[in-house]
Amino acid sequence: MKAVFTRLDRGRLLALALWLLPVAALLPLGLLWLWQERALSWWLLAMVACSAAGYGLQYWLQRQNRELLASVATGPDPNWPKLADQAWAAVEQLAEEVKPEDWPLNDGGRWWALGQRTLEVVARCYHPAVEQPLLELTVPHTLLIIERASRDLRADVTKHIPLSHRLTIGDLIRTWRWKAFAERLLYLYRAGRFVIDPINALLGEVWGQLRGSAYGEALTEFHRWLLREYVRKVGYYAIDLYSGRLPLSDDGPTVTLTPSSQADLKQADAMKSEPLRILVLGRANAGKSSLINALFGQVTAATDVLPDTTTEWTPYRLKHDGLDAALIFDAPAYDSAGLNGKKLRQAVLEADLLLWVSAVNKPGDRDGERKALDQVRGWQKERANLHPAPLLVAVSHIDQLRPAKEWQPPYDLQNPNGPKASNIQAAVMAVATDLAVPIGDVIPVCLAEGRIYNVDDALWAALLDRQDEAGKVRFLRCLRQQKQRENWTLLRQQLTNTGRWLLKWPGKALG
């Protein structure tokens, strides 16, 4: 500071002081005039009121900015599988723990370390037994996560932070760098004010401190939001990766036709988008084919009193108002002697919705059904990174319940009136208990010719109600297929490029 004044000509400084003296004298002379006119107290009161109003407005604007930043916070994706909830909770905890003083804006290495720490938090949830779970990530996927997170953060800052397209990182750094020098100059100014006008200087100090703290809090709030959003963005795409939703290509995830559905559609009408895959399962003679007939309102699947009528995985295109494109599969009975368990497992894992048919007149088969359903649930749990397909149970042959000769639908199962309705209600509760299925997912139906009941209303309503959940399963299934195709494509390209390089290498080595 001393060196700056020594470089200036003293004559010019004196001239500058003479120019400023009349202006500087206005303040004490004005206060003297106010005192003589006995208006000094009113002026002080007006100054306090205006300062308070300005501070209140500044506080309100700061709160508005805080609410604006909170409104653009990144949240979890509803299409994520259940395992992602734990990982996202860990990401949110890390985001809340970061402090601006620990992660300065001008230290790129610290920001890279914060991104790495976020990746480790997510990787630990998916690889708890691995000592260094971060090493399970591939290099392209690691770079892709940082790239996508930075891209989204740039869009949020540009869209929601005023003048962010003009404010540079250098501006923020220089603000902190020159802060100490500016404070020294401010101290000189404050000392001068106390000499000239002690009352006004005292009030100015009070409100200046308030304004200074508000400005500092606003800058800190923006820094904290930037850190939290960076952690959330990196965590979001890391969970996307482990959930099978992050392809390396620039193409976004789409619900396009999978190879298996393309093959199935050769037996049904052509579709442009990936259909919901509904798999009908159950024991022989439970009424699977009859149920499909009832859903279509016409005979579309073979039915017979003999067991094992359905011997192939037959797809049918299912159409209904409010239903997306759907394929329904009439699977062979799970207890068929020639059934391939591996194929059944694959069909279950590729299904977006499971429809189990249980015959109410064969309670002795219920133990076998429960074991088969538990096996299906076990297959779904093996793939924790996917949504399990929702399950509906259709209880067939309810017309055969006692009294067998009575059949006068509709029956009110909420408030049963009569032995038939009471027995149907009891049968639904028994099936729900025996198969460990929520009672709301058990639909009693009659599939006998001329007695179709509870299909067009209750069963269809249940199918449509679970369409959104089944759509999430379809989305993840299509992404898994997309990643598999991408992996093979990248491997083929890498091998091709490696082969070309090897062919050219002898010439380069000799040259």
Per-residue pLDDT tens over the stretch 440-489: 999 999 999 889 999 998 999 999 999 999 988 887 787 777 666 665 66
Name the fold adopted by 259-474: Rossmann fold (3.40.50)
Do you find a cis peptide bond into 363, omega within 30 degrees of 0? no
CB proximity list for 296: less than 8 A, separation 6 or greater: 316, 318
CB count in 10 Å sphere of residue 119: 22
- Residues 116-143 have a mean pLDDT of 79
What pLDDT was estimated at residue 1?
45
Query: In the block, which residue shows the tokens 């250098």?
Result: 170
Q: CA-CA distance, 127 to 114, in Å (whole number)?
A: 20
On the question of pLDDT at 505 being above 70, the answer is no
- Residues 331-342 have a mean pLDDT of 64
Mean pLDDT lowest among 154-168, 174-188, 385-399? 174-188
Residue 438 C-beta-side C-alpha neighbours within 13 Å: 6
As to burial, measured by CB atoms within 10 angstroms (0-12 exposed, 13-18 middle, 19+ buried), residue 370 is middle
What pLDDT was estimated at residue 146?
73
Per-residue pLDDT tens over the stretch 256-294: 566 666 666 554 455 556 889 999 999 888 998 899 989
C-alpha dist (Å) from residue 497 to 3, 483, 484, 510, 511: 64, 21, 20, 21, 21
- Residues 370-392 have a mean pLDDT of 87
For the chain, the domains span 1-38, 48-242, 259-474
On the question of pLDDT at 203 being above 90, the answer is no
